[in-house]
Each structure stands twice: as C-alpha cells, then as structure tokens.
Amino acid sequence: MDEKFLSWLEEQPKSIADGIYKNNTDAKWAARVIDLYKADTGLTKKKTKASPSAADAVTKTPARTVLLMLQAVKFGSFRNPYP
C-alpha cells in the first residue's frame, strides 16, 4: 500500500478513514475516499474536451484499485491506525 496514502488517511477524520479500514462491502464508499485523496493531493486529472480518437478516451477503471484495497482490509494486510 502507498505510504503517502496511508499517511494522508491517518490525518483524516475517523469517518473518512473508516471508508477504508472498517468497510469491506461498500466499494462506492471506498472509491469516494480514494477520490478525496486524489483531489487533496492533486492527483486528479483535469477533464479535457472530447478527444478526436475513441482510443484516447479509454481509461482504466478505479474499481480494481478499490477491490485490492477492500481485499487488503478483509485479509488484514492493511495497517489500521484506529484499532
């Protein structure tokens, strides 16, 4: 897991951190926490106008990232600062 993300998560209110640490069923909640992290750290890319090529519009979905994070929480490989 990304140490920068974990450090950021430790600084967040418990209600936000719980979206990762205590949530193993709601992928939408976890995705919103990740979106908030990206926005706070400037990782969010600006949306551009329609590209001329359909291939340019194809992006990876964050669902895989959410799934991996939820699995880490479920199987205990995720460090929880709020025991």
Residue 22 structure tokens: 């205590």
Q: Hey, what amino acid is at 48?
A: T
What confidence tens digit (pLDDT) does each residue in 19-44 have?
999 999 999 999 999 999 999 998 87
Residue 19: the pLDDT is: 93
Residue with tokens 């209600």: 15
Chain segment 59-79, per-residue pLDDT in tens:
665 667 777 777 777 776 656
**Separation in Å, CA 49 to CA 39, 45, 66:** 20, 13, 27
